[in-house]
Amino acid sequence: MKIIDLRSDTVTRPSKGMREFIASAEVGDDVFGDDPTVKNLEDRTAEVLGHEAALFVPSGTMANQVSLRALAMPGDEIICETGAHIFNYEVAGAAAISGIQLHPIGAANGILTSEIVEPLIRPEDIHDPRTAAIAIENSNNRAGGTVFPMEVIGDLRRLADQYKVKLYLDGARLWNAATYLGVKPSEIASKFDYVSVCFSKGLGAPIGSAIVSSRENIKKARRIRKMYGGGMRQVGLIAAGALYALENNYTRLGDDHKRAANLARLLSKSPFFLINPDTIQTNIVVIRLASGLNPDRFCQKLSHEKVLVVPFGENMIRAVAHLDVDDTDIEKAANIMLETADSPA
């Protein structure tokens, strides 16, 4: 029986076409700047995102940490949202590695607005950390894949310019945000000083992320990457998978969004699942469980039925649609979840 794995969009496997592309990749030593496949990926990523240059890194966490260190000095502060990946899921890396203080603030649906952020920008004072940057995550994972409206991004850009602070985008799922908004990724990314994107989530590559910015900023980020152990050698084998994903798997992301919305619609028929299908914007479905359903035990019971989802906080679980699940898988997973919720403990 097939396992329907909805734990994350990171669980995808390379397709036959991707494997063949990886196998044929031309490689060189990337630390010396000699890997042609990495160069191709970086040039293409910068072009797609509307920036001058890009830097390939092995993971989204490294992309975030390199970018934060490039944006701020030890003792500086970066404003973010309480659900942000950089605050919750990177082992306090900003503080531990770079001496940067994060200032998290709650926001409805994870959407930081200029009205929320402006009072947090610190005035010049010898006692205070310097506000170096504003960081947002788009789409916002913990908020259920919510997307920043373009007008909110524009307001944040104007605010950052007004106060002479930087604007950073953790765009691990920027591809999904752009798909939802019906805009080119560059229309979002061009508003930010630094942007990170991930190739191993919705795009389905096995490994890899990238940072984009100006050529001068990427030169600085490349040095920080080396400091953090991210300088790699014949890495074109990895970059090839990311390049294939970027060129072949972007336009299909809307399918994942439709499947996520369908999962939510099917589950909303049961009183055990508290979810409004109309709130699903991208490929992430965060589901609140009715009283009596324990997230850990419920996920364990589902795993016995070959459906994998994850606990996601108090009384909540998360399911994520991706390229390795189809319409039939979604419907089957929903039926199993409905039957499992309705069965005796």
- Give the strand pairing for 131-137 and 209-213: unpaired
DSSP string for 191-212: TSSEEEEESSSTT--SS-EEEE
Weakest-pLDDT range from 130-139, 203-212, 244-253, 287-296: 287-296
For the segment 39-59, what is each residue's pLDDT rounded down to a tens digit? 999 999 999 999 999 999 999
Sign of CA dihedral 141, 171, 249, 32: negative
Q: Compute the average pLDDT of residues 295-314.
A: 96
Q: Answer for the pair 187, 218: CB distance below 8 angstroms, yes or no.
A: no
For the segment 126-135, what is each residue's pLDDT rounded down to a tens digit? 999 999 999 9
Domains of the chain plus CATH, in order, are 16-248 (3.40.640.10), 252-342 (3.90.1150.10)
**Do you find a cis peptide bond into 139, omega within 30 degrees of 0?**
yes
Q: Answer for the pair 341, 270: CB distance below 8 angstroms, yes or no.
A: yes
Q: Answer for the pair 13, 325: CB distance below 8 angstroms, yes or no.
A: no
Other residues' Cβ atoms within 10 Å of the Cβ of residue 268: 15
Alpha helices in 127-284 (DSSP H): 150-163, 174-181, 185-189, 215-227, 236-248, 253-267
- Give the strand pairing for 131-137 and 77-81: parallel
pLDDT over 90 at 331, yes or no = yes
pLDDT over 80 at 1, yes or no = no
Task: Quote the mean pLDDT of the chain.
Answer: 97
Supply the DSSP symbol for 11. Answer: -
pLDDT of amino acid 313:
87
Q: Compute the average pLDDT of residues 323-331.
A: 98
Q: Which of 102, 113, 180 is nearest to 145 (CA)?
A: 180
Distance CA 202, CA 205 (A): 8
pLDDT confidence band for 63 (50 / 70 / 90):
very high
pLDDT of amino acid 125:
95
pLDDT of amino acid 291:
83
pLDDT of amino acid 14:
97
pLDDT of amino acid 345:
57
For the segment 215-263, what is each residue's pLDDT rounded down to a tens digit? 999 999 999 999 999 999 999 999 999 999 999 999 999 999 999 999 9
pLDDT of amino acid 343:
78
pLDDT of amino acid 93:
98
pLDDT confidence band for 111 (50 / 70 / 90):
very high
What SS3 class is residue 276?
coil
φ, ψ of residue 95 in degrees (nearest 5): -75, -45
Q: How many helices (H) and strands (E) does the chain have?
A: 14, 13
Percent of the chain with pLDDT over 70: 99
pLDDT confidence band for 22 (50 / 70 / 90):
very high
Distance CA 181, CA 140 (A): 14
Considering only CA atoms, give the Rg of the chain.
20
pLDDT of amino acid 292:
82
pLDDT of amino acid 342:
82
